[in-house]
Amino acid sequence: MRIAFASLAFALTATAAVAQTCGNTSDGFGPFIQEMKREAAAAGVSKRSIAVLDTVSYDNAIIKRDRGQSIFSDSFLTFQKKMISAGRLNRAKSQIEKHQAVFDKVQKQYGVPPAVIAAFWALETDFGAVTGDFPTIQSIATLAWDCRRPEKFRPQLLAALQLLDKGDLTLAEFKGAWAGEIGQTQFMAYDYNESAVDYDGDGKRDLRNSVPDVLASTANLLRKHGWQPNQPWLQEVKVPVELPWKEADIAIKHSRSQWAKWGVTAVSGNPIKADTMEASLLLPMGRNGPAFLAYHNFTTSYLKWNESLVYSLTAAYLATRIAGAPPVSPGRGTVNHPSYEQIVELQTKLQGLGYDVGKLDGKIGKGTRMAVKDQQLKLKLPPDSYPSVEVIAAILKSKVHGHLPPEATESDAGVEQITDEATGEPLPDLPAEGPIPKKQKKKAVILPESADQGDNEGNSLY
Ligand SMILES: [Ca+2]
């Protein structure tokens, strides 16, 4: 499912005026719809499209799905196994053959290889076989009212009405996945509006039925997300037993020559190209599990498509498989991946230690990984950011409170913010001498608020 919302940053500013009310039941949904109608009118949406809002109702089934336990709690090895079968891999190859001329034209124009597009097409809808039958506007309206992440769905509601105005789809065709995604590669309304392409020249951008439109639109969106032609996206590698593990972080990049110096090799054991090209070392299951170099095209385009690292890694890995890479190596040893309940227990503990891990959602998101890395550093464990069952056991016993995220400690080393306990406001510099006034007290600086935000289906990064 296409459930990334990263591209909404611009749309959000347009709807800043929306009141921040929301509800966890249908109470208040009616007035909310009236408010959305006023907003749509102010944005220039036609009366005909606005009238569609009168036909939608609060949909409990959508909320129930949204609250459901996600497969994004799975480990990468489990998730990719569920998503990538031999049959699917073969279908991807035969779809590329079948539509070779379009794929070639798209690659020439947008620089995105067929394997990359085919992998998304496979994972999102099995090449158009399962695009979903949920009424899109009702789904989006329900999630826009729900308190879980209204800021992400409200702009989508307006975008959906604007899309309806454009006439690419009729109202009857406004159907898709439960969280509002439409078409064979599951575009949200905002991306459909902004990035869909009419590639077969029939005058309509038809992401439900036209394969040329689907392939070109997918490439166009990836290009807008920063895709660079003729560049790799992901490469499986082998890591040595010892490595400065804190460098293995999706937020940290080094040249391939640096990774080679640290003993990273191709999965075959042969040397990797030791040049200046930058990559992050991605260890989705920690230092004993599978290992990848993730290049610019991964850290930009893929993660903007879907912020869930386990999803994006699977899509990128599937693309390498379609392009001819061998099956992933499980790594050096058995990795004990935590259960959903264990991850929630970890997140609860981390929150108690003062970290912002976002929602206690049982998914190892960005905030959870950053907090785990900080705890690993403090507990003198290899800081690979991955909460194996053993690491969780150690953190559950930890009494060391949260501090600056690892990235920030380098530049702000030694600087502790002194704040007024009552207001949380920074206090002026202390006098050089003399006792610290009782009112002033050092406070732990917790991880940034945004750490685990930005998820959409609740599939936070990783
Ligand atoms: Ca078309």
- Ligand 1 centre to CA of 201 (Å) is 5
| Average pLDDT, integer, range 366-374 | 94
- Ligand 1 centre to CA of 195 (Å) is 13
| Cβ-proximal residues to 223 (8 Å cutoff; 6+ apart), any chain | 110, 111, 112, 301
**What's the pLDDT score for residue 361?**
86
- Ligand 1 centre to CA of 99 (Å) is 15
- Ligand 1 centre to CA of 207 (Å) is 8
What span, in angstroms and rounded, lies between the C-alpha atoms of 457 and 349?
23
- Ligand 1 centre to CA of 254 (Å) is 42
Residue 426 sits at φ, ψ, to 5 deg, of: -60, 140
Pick the CATH number of 6-70+134-191 from 1.10.8.350, 3.40.50.740, 3.20.20.80, 1.10.240.10: 1.10.8.350
Q: How far is CA 385 from the centre of its chain?
A: 17
- Ligand 1 centre to CA of 215 (Å) is 11
**What's the pLDDT score for residue 368?**
94
- Ligand 1 centre to CA of 214 (Å) is 9
Give alpha helix (H) positions in 286-339. Answer: 296-297, 303-305, 309-322
Range from 367-376, 440-449, 450-459 that averages highest in pLDDT: 367-376
**What's the pLDDT score for residue 253?**
98
**Does 359 or 450 have the greater pLDDT score?**
359
Average pLDDT, the chain: 85
For residue 370, give the H/E element and its range: helix 366-378
Q: How many percent of the chain have pLDDT more than 70? A: 82
- Ligand 1 centre to CA of 131 (Å) is 17
| Cβ-proximal residues to 229 (8 Å cutoff; 6+ apart), any chain | 110, 111, 112
| Average pLDDT, integer, range 319-339 | 95
29, two tokens: 């949904």
- Ligand 1 centre to CA of 24 (Å) is 39
| Average pLDDT, integer, range 25-45 | 96
**What's the pLDDT score for residue 402?**
85
pTM of the model: 0.83
- Ligand 1 centre to CA of 187 (Å) is 15
What span, in angstroms and rounded, lies between the C-alpha atoms of 75 and 462?
9
How does residue 52 score in pLDDT terms, banded at 50, 70 and 90? very high
Q: Kindly tell me if the per-residue pLDDT of 1 is higher than 80.
A: no
How does residue 455 score in pLDDT terms, banded at 50, 70 and 90? very low
- Ligand 1 centre to CA of 218 (Å) is 13
- Ligand 1 centre to CA of 185 (Å) is 15
Q: Of 154-163, 211-220, 226-235, 431-440, give the lowest mean pLDDT range.
A: 431-440
- Ligand 1 centre to CA of 223 (Å) is 19
Q: Kindly tell me if the per-residue pLDDT of 452 is higher than 60.
A: no
Cβ atoms of residues 304 and 7 within 8 Å: yes
Q: How far is CA 136 from the centre of its chain?
A: 21
- Ligand 1 centre to CA of 10 (Å) is 26
- Ligand 1 centre to CA of 210 (Å) is 6
- Ligand 1 centre to CA of 357 (Å) is 43
Which residues are found with C-beta within 5 Å of the ion, ligand 1?
A: 198, 200, 202, 204, 206, 210, 213
A 10 A CB-CB count for 163 gives 25
How does residue 333 score in pLDDT terms, banded at 50, 70 and 90? confident
Cβ atoms of residues 225 and 305 within 8 Å: yes
**Does 416 or 350 have the greater pLDDT score?**
350
What span, in angstroms and rounded, lies between the C-alpha atoms of 168 and 67?
32
What span, in angstroms and rounded, lies between the C-alpha atoms of 254 and 274?
11
- Ligand 1 centre to CA of 196 (Å) is 10
- Ligand 1 centre to CA of 203 (Å) is 6
Q: Kindly tell me if the per-residue pLDDT of 414 is higher than 80.
A: no
**What's the pLDDT score for residue 440?**
31
* Amino acid residing at 457: E
Supply the DSSP symbol for 23.
B
Q: Of 131-140, 219-228, 378-387, 409-418, give the lowest mean pLDDT range.
A: 409-418
Give the residue among 185, 188, 189, 181 at the shortest CA–CA distance from 209. Answer: 185
Q: Kindly tell me if the per-residue pLDDT of 408 is higher than 60.
A: no
Burial of residue 7 (number of CB atoms within 10 Å: 0-12, 13-18, 19+)? middle
| Cβ-proximal residues to 334 (8 Å cutoff; 6+ apart), any chain | 288
Give the residue among 323, 112, 309, 365 at the shortest CA–CA distance from 235. Answer: 323
**What's the pLDDT score for residue 69?**
62
| Cβ-proximal residues to 268 (8 Å cutoff; 6+ apart), any chain | none
| Average pLDDT, integer, range 225-254 | 97
List pLDDT tens digits, range 126-181.
999 999 999 999 999 999 999 988 999 999 999 999 999 999 999 999 999 999 99
